[in-house]
Amino acid sequence: MGANAVVVDTQGAATDSAQARTTAVGQHLRRWPPSPRVILAAALVLVAAQAVARASLVLDGHLYWDDLILAGRSSAMPLLSPEFLLYDHDGHFMPAAFLTAGVATMLAPLQWSAAAATLIALQLLAALAVLRVLWLLLGPRPVVPALLALYLFTPLTLPSLAWWAAGLNSLPMQAALAWVAGDALLLASTGRRRYALTGTVVTAVALAFFEKSVLVPFVAFAVVALVARVDGTSSPVRGAWRSGRPLWLACGAVLAVWAALYLTVVDSQLRVPAPAEAAMFVHHGTSLGVVPALVGGPWGWERWPPGPPWAIPPTGLVVAAWIVVALAAVVTLRCKQRTGWVWAAMVAYVAASEVAMMVGRSGPDTVYEIAQSLRYTSDSAVVLVLGVALLIRAPSRLDTGRTVGRHVARPPVAAAIVALIVTSSLWSTVTFARSWDANPGAGYLDIARDSLARHRDVPLLDQPVSLMTLLPVAAPWNMASRVFGPLTDRPAFASATPELRALDESGRLVSATVEPTRWVVQGQEPGCGTRIGQAGGEVPLSGPLMIWEWTVALNYHASADGTVSVALGAGSPVDVPVRAGLHQAFVRIYGTGSVLSVRPVGPGLELCIGSGTVGVVVPGTEAIP
C-alpha cells in the first residue's frame, strides 16, 4: 500500500507540473501580441541603439571634400546673402544645407564636432519619422519594430550619413519622405487640414536641402493610393486625390515656385548615356549596390583616395540577395492580395534614383563604381521599408494550400530573419568605418590648423591644399585661404610676405623656396643693381614668362619703410610692403612678359633691386620651429 501511494503521489505531482507548464504557456500566449506600449518601447530602444551605433561612426569622422567647400564659402560670403544661398553647387540647389553648414562653421570653425551633431540630429529625426509612418500603416503590431530595424541599420544610408555634405542632402529628404507620407495618411483618414499645412511645410524645407525632394509629394500620393489599393478600395487613385487634395495642391504650388527658382540658379548639364553605358550603371547600382544592401550587404568596401568608398559585395552575397528578393516577390504575390502595384512602385523608385544619377553624373570621366557608392539611392531605404509595410498590410489570400507565407510570417521566423539582416548590416557598418577612416588626407586639417595657430606672425602666400584633401577641380575652393578662411587663429593670407612658408602634404608649416623658371637680371648700377626712383621703372627678367601665377623673390634695398607696386607685364599690380634697408620679399603675381614693373607708392621712397628668382613655390622639409 505504501509503495502504491508513492507511485500515485509521483504521478499526481507530474500531472500537476504538466498542468502548471500548460498554464504558463497559455498565459504567455495570452500576452502575445504585446501591448502597444511595449511595442512602442521596443521601437524606441531600436532608435536609441541606432543612434549609438551610427554616432560612433559619425563622431570618428572628418570633414571631407564638399564639406570644406561649404565651410569655405560660408566664411567668404555673408551668411544670408543670395550669392551664398542661391548657388549652383555642382548641379545641386541646396540653400538650407548651405545655411546649416554656415551656422555650424560660424559656431565651430572647421570642427567636425559641429558637423557630426547636425548629422546625428538629422538621422534621429528621420528615424522617428519612419517610426511614425510605420505605426500609421500597420498600427501597434509587433512587426513595426522589425521593419524599423531594417531601415535603421541598412547599409544603404551609411555613405550619406558619414559625409556631411551628402548627409545634409539625403537625411532631410529621408525624414520628409516618411513625414509627408504620414501626414497624407492622416489627412485622408481624418480630413484635418493641419496635416496639409505641415506636409507642405516639410516638403518646402526638404526642397531647400535637396532638389531630389521633388519626389516627396509623389511618394506620399503613392502611399495613400496603395493603401487604398491593398485595402480593396475601388478607384484608389481617384480616392487618394480627393482625400488629400489640399496637400497635393499646396505642394504643387511649392513645386512650381521652387522649379522657377531652381531653373534660374542651376545650369544643369544633363547627359543621356548610351544603352550599353546605362546597362552597366544599372548593373553596378542594382546588383552590386541596392540588392545586396537589402540583406545587410555589401560586407566589403573599396576606395581610391581621395574618392569615397564604394560597395564591393562578394558574388555569393549578390546571388543570395537576388534569390531572397525573388522569393519575397513570389511569396507576397501568391499569398497576399493586390500587391503587384506595391512591387511596381518600389522598383520604379529605385529606377528613378538610378536614372537621376545617370543623367546627372555620367560622362567620359565617370566610372561605373559611382553607382556602388550608394549615395544616390540612400533615400530608397525609406521607400522600400514603406513598400514592405504595405505588403504586410495587404490581406492574405484564402487559399489554405499556400502555407509558405504564413510560415515565414510566424514571429520566431520573422525575428530570426530580421536579426540575420541586422547582424549582416552591422558588419557592413564596421567594414565601411574602416574604409572611411583609411583616408590619407584625414589628418591634414588637424595638423594644419595646429601649425597655423602656432605661427601667426608672418603672412602666407596662398597655395592649393593637399591633393588628398581637395583636388584642383574644386578651384578656387581648394586654395588654403578658402579652406582655412573660417579660422580666426591663423596667419593672414597675402600676396606678399617677407618670409616664404608653405604647408606640406601632411599639413605642417615649413620653410619654402622659389624653384626658378626665370631670374631677375642683376642691374648695371654698381652697388645697387636696378635703381627704382619715384617715377618707377622696369626690372628685366632672363626671359619671357607664359601667363600664369608666379612667385617672385624680390631682393631690395629701400630708402624708407613704405609700399611698392609690382606687376608682370600687363597683369594686375600687387602692393608689396617694404622696410628700410636690405631685405627680401616674396610676391605672388599673375601675368606674362619679360619685365617686372616696380613703382613706389607714396613720396620719398627709392629702391635698389638685385638679382632674384621667378618661379613656383616648393615646400621644404624643415618645419617652422
Low-confidence ranges of the chain (pLDDT < 50): 1-15, 18, 20-29, 400-402, 404-405, 407
DSSP states along 317-367? HHHHHHHHHHHHHHHHHHHBSS-HHHHHHHHHHHHHHHHHHHHHH-STT--
What per-residue confidence (pLDDT) applies to 31?
60
- Map 357-371 to HEC letters: HHHHHCCCCCCHHHH
Q: Which of 133, 117, 225 is nearest to 175 (CA)?
A: 133
What is the Cα–Cα distance from 310 to 212, expressed in whole angstroms? 21
- Provide CB contacts within 8 A for 460, sequence distance 6+: 480, 491, 492, 493, 494, 497, 501, 502
- Residues paired with residue 586 on neighbouring β-strands, in sequence order: 497, 553
Q: Could you tell me how many residues make up the chain?
A: 625
- 619 grid coordinates: 615646400
Asked if residues 173 and 188 have their Cβ atoms less than 8 Å apart, the reply is: no
Asked if residues 146 and 97 have their Cβ atoms less than 8 Å apart, the reply is: no
What amino acid occupies position 176? A
Q: Which of 381, 448, 476 is nearest to 149 (CA)?
A: 381
Dihedral of the alpha carbons of 527, 532, 537, 543, in degrees to the nearest 10: 40
What per-residue confidence (pLDDT) applies to 14?
44
Asked if residues 522 and 566 have their Cβ atoms less than 8 Å apart, the reply is: no
What per-residue confidence (pLDDT) applies to 10?
41
- Residue 360's CB is within 10 A of a number of other CB atoms, namely 18
What is the Cα–Cα distance from 184 to 551, expressed in whole angstroms? 62
- 532 grid coordinates: 627704382
What per-residue confidence (pLDDT) applies to 32?
62
What per-residue confidence (pLDDT) applies to 5?
42
What per-residue confidence (pLDDT) applies to 241?
97
CATH of 443-625, picked from 1.10.357, 3.90.1170, 2.60.40, 2.60.120, is: 2.60.120
SS3 141: coil
What is the Cα–Cα distance from 389 to 404, expressed in whole angstroms? 18
Q: Which of 290, 438, 311 is nearest to 370 (CA)?
A: 311
Q: List Cα–Cα distances, 347 to 292, 373, 377, in angstroms.
A: 15, 19, 12
DSSP letter at 513 equals: E
By DSSP bridging, strand 493-494 and strand 496-497 are unpaired
As a whole number of angstroms, the longest Cα–Cα distance in the chain is 139
| H or E stretch at 502 | strand 501-503
Compute the Cα dihedral for 550, 556, 561, 567 and give only its sign.
negative
Compute the Cα dihedral for 251, 253, 255, 258 and give only its sign.
negative
Peptide bond into 476 cis (omega under 30): yes
Q: List Cα–Cα distances, 179 to 127, 198, 347, in angstroms.
A: 10, 9, 21
- 337 grid coordinates: 492580395
Asked if residues 555 and 539 have their Cβ atoms less than 8 Å apart, the reply is: no
| H or E stretch at 519 | strand 509-520
- Provide CB contacts within 8 A for 409, sequence distance 6+: none
What is the Cα–Cα distance from 613 to 517, expressed in whole angstroms? 7
What per-residue confidence (pLDDT) applies to 53?
95
- 238 grid coordinates: 481617384
Angle CA 349–96–202, to nearest 5? 55
Asked if residues 116 and 59 have their Cβ atoms less than 8 Å apart, the reply is: yes
- Provide CB contacts within 8 A for 364, sequence distance 6+: none
Indicate the domain borders of the chain: 1-31, 32-437, 443-625
